[in-house]
Amino acid sequence: MVILSISVVEKSEASVHYAKVEKIITIKSKIFTDLRHFNRSFMNIEPIPAFDDNYFWLLSNDHKAIVVDPGDAQVVLDRLSQNGLTLDAVLVTHKHYDHIGGVGKLKAKTGCRVVAPVIDGVAVDMTVNDGDEVSLLGNKFAVLGVPGHTIEHVAYYSEGLKCCFVGDTLFSSGCGRMFEGTPKQFLASLKRLAELPDDTEIYCAHEYTLANLAFAQVVEPNSSEILAKLARMKKTRAENKPTLPTTIGDEKQTNPFLRTDKTQVIEAILAREGKKLLDEPAVFHALRSWKDSF
Ligand code: ZN
Ligand code: FE
């Protein structure tokens, strides 16, 4: 009886001790999760729709904001005043008017800094090139040179925020038109983006997803991933919501321009061209030309 009693006490002490340890582990992991959540959600990222299908991406904390590719100033000024925000900086990916049209007025009205590659006619406070790093509102952005759509095109990648602003280089299930670069350059730029972690959120400058998926489906008619994404995105658009951001992981499955080394895409190009193409840039070029006339 006595022995049994001791045994019960020991067991109960052990379980109290275990419960304490478990509680500490739970608290520690909760703090860790909260911190991660805090870091991840420190910047709010929202689209400002403009023109027919552009998105100017607005990043903000409680008081300050950054806007990417503001092609028009007024919609940005309106959103800033609605949300009680001060504009800290403008980030520009490339020289097309739908991405820079509002930069001068925003600078004049708010005194914000302008971060951009070299662009004629744009007063830039910080000129960026591939390999540079920009610190804004406590976040670091790596500048990635991604020529192809235009020569000076850059993307802004934040490892901490797990996001990348890609302008008109990469779209959800598509890519930009090749105005200035070579197929080899554009393909290398897309491959560079594809090397980012799969969960990186990709913020593109246009809402082209449904049209891109219609093309992707013709290139890869047997892809269940493309079919499923098309159904999801149709629903999203029917609710008048943006289909962005996408992720690198999703794009690797559903974007033919990131799949120019895959048998399905190579065979689709072979069937269309009637001959085997020499290398991957040639497959990319044929695919891009096909989409231009789709
Ligand atoms: Zn463009
Ligand atoms: Fe554009």
Q: pLDDT band at 28, cuts 50/70/90?
A: very low
The residue-averaged pLDDT of 175-203 equals 98
CA 104–ligand 1 middle distance (angstroms): 18
Active-site hit among 69, 149, 153, 250: 149
- The pocket of ion ligand 2, defined by CB under 5 A, consists of 96, 98, 168
Report whether 114 contacts 122 (CB < 8 A): yes
Per-residue pLDDT of 40-83, as tens digits, reads 447 999 999 999 999 999 999 999 999 999 999 999 999 999 99
Active-site hit among 69, 96, 153, 250: 96
Residue 94, H or E segment: none
The residue-averaged pLDDT of 243-264 equals 98
| Residue 206 is a catalytic residue | yes
| Residue 94 is a catalytic residue | yes
Residue 287 burial (CB count, 10 A): 25
Taking CB atoms within 8 Å and a gap of at least 24, the contacts of 104-112 are: 104/73, 105/73, 105/74, 106/67, 106/70, 106/73, 106/76, 106/77, 109/73, 109/77, 110/77, 110/80, 110/86, 112/87, 112/88
CA 69–ligand 1 middle distance (angstroms): 10
| Residue 37 is a catalytic residue | no
Whether residue 2 has pLDDT greater than 70: no
The residue-averaged pLDDT of 263-275 equals 96
Active-site hit among 69, 88, 168, 250: 168
Active-site hit among 69, 88, 153, 206: 206
Please compute Rg for the chain using Cα positions.
24
Residue 106 burial (CB count, 10 A): 22
Per-residue pLDDT of 145-157, as tens digits, reads 999 999 999 999 9
Whether residue 26 has pLDDT greater than 90: no
pLDDT at 37: 39
The residue-averaged pLDDT of 81-90 equals 98
Residue 69, H or E segment: none
Lowest mean pLDDT among 22-26, 82-86, 226-230: 22-26
Whether residue 7 has pLDDT greater than 60: no
Cα angle 184, 186, 191 (rounded to 5 degrees) comes to: 95
Active-site hit among 69, 88, 98, 250: 98
pLDDT at 1: 36
Give Cβ neighbours of residue 108 (< 8 Å, ≥ 6 apart).
none
pLDDT at 278: 81
| Residue 69 is a catalytic residue | no
